[in-house]
């Protein structure tokens, strides 16, 4: 079966010419898609987000079914890595309750965008293991692109109005997922939320070698606290720059 039929030289690799071309194309496509999506109404934007929700779940079920059928371990199909919890967050934003929506959006925007773009730049769990044409590579690239697009279009089109206080929603959501991940990791020997193994990130591997507990705490803090505030800081900086540009344009037109 083509799923397994590839040699080591066919593996795409990180920062290979193929990966660089794909990375540039995906980032440019993301920018163009968000720019064109600015013209959409709030209702149309929400319909697109619902379509993305259905799409990512269908793709996840197909991917996981294949891997379970092939006898792969839980690391390959349990959807509880940091980026994988986008699946649950995008379901939350479909609820009518504003609080539940804000829980989902706080993760998608200030956790998901950064994580998704980071993955496109450094796809250590797909292109480092498979050829570019492999279903695992294709699925992961589509999944992370859709996650980045969903977060950006929600901010740009006003679907989500972020507040610093929403950090508590993000913290509780990612914290709950971390607790579940620890329970699964201890039971099945998996690496959910990357709390047991840094998966090829050199400086984190150094921390892991020094102390497994220290690594788990660093991984937890990075995902559940630091990423939110870095992303929120970038968002505030973008808003300030945008307002400054608009103000200067208005001053010139007077």
pLDDT digits (tens, 9 = 90+) for 28-45: 999 999 999 999 999 999
Nearest to 99 by CA among 172, 176, 177, 181: 172
Please report whether residue 101 resides in a domain: yes
* pLDDT for the residue numbered 198: 81
Residue 175 lies in domain: 8-253
Please report whether residue 1 resides in a domain: no
- The percent of residues in the chain predicted with pLDDT above 90, rounded, is 75
Which residue is it, tokens 């920062």?
15
With 90 as the cut, is the pLDDT of residue 253 above it?
no
Euclidean distance between CA atoms 105 and 123, whole angstroms? 24
Alpha carbon of 36 to those of 31, 53, 116, 156, 217: distances in Å? 9, 20, 20, 11, 41
- Sign of the four-CA dihedral 88, 90, 96, 101: positive
pLDDT, tens only, 168-223: 999 999 999 999 999 999 999 999 999 988 876 666 777 878 888 889 999 999 99
Alpha carbon of 11 to those of 2, 16, 17, 71, 132: distances in Å? 13, 10, 12, 22, 7
With 50 as the cut, is the pLDDT of residue 1 above it?
no
The pair of three-digit structure tokens given for residue 174, joined into one six-digit string: 């990612």
DSSP assignment, residue 166?
G
With 80 as the cut, is the pLDDT of residue 3 above it?
no
Please report whether residue 115 resides in a domain: yes
Please report whether residue 3 resides in a domain: no
Euclidean distance between CA atoms 143 and 149, whole angstroms? 10
Count of domains observed in the chain: 1
Euclidean distance between CA atoms 107 and 110, whole angstroms? 6
50: left (phi over 0), alpha (psi -120 to 50) or beta: alpha
Please report whether residue 2 resides in a domain: no
Euclidean distance between CA atoms 78 and 183, whole angstroms? 13
- Sign of the four-CA dihedral 50, 54, 57, 63: negative
Please report whether residue 172 resides in a domain: yes
């Amino acid at each position: 079966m083509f799923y397994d039929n590839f040699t080591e030289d066919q593996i795409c690799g990180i920062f290979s010419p193929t990966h660089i071309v794909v990375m540039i194309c995906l980032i440019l496509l993301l920018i163009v898609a968000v720019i064109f999506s600015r013209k959409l109404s709030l209702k149309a934007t929400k319909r697109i987000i619902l379509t993305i929700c259905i799409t990512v779940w269908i793709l996840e079920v197909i991917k996981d079914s294949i891997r379970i059928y092939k006898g792969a371990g839980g690391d390959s199909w349990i959807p509880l890595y940091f980026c994988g919890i986008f699946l649950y967050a995008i379901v939350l934003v479909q609820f009518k309750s504003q609080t539940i929506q804000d829980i989902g959006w706080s993760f998608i925007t200030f956790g998901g965008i950064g994580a998704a773009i980071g993955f496109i730049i450094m796809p250590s769990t797909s292109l480092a293991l498979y050829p570019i044409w492999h279903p695992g590579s294709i699925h992961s690239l589509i999944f992370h692109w859709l996650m980045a697009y969903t977060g950006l279009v929600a901010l740009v089109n006003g679907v989500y109005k972020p507040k610093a206080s929403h950090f508590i929603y993000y913290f509780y959501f990612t914290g709950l997922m971390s607790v579940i991940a620890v329970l699964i990791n201890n039971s099945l020997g998996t690496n959910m939320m990357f709390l047991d193994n840094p998966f090829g990130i050199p400086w984190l591997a150094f921390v892991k070698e020094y102390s497994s507990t220290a690594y788990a705490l660093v991984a937890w803090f990075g995902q559940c606290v630091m990423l939110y505030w870095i992303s929120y800081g970038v968002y505030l900086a973008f808003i300030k720059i945008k307002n400054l540009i608009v103000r200067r344009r208005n001053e010139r037109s007077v």
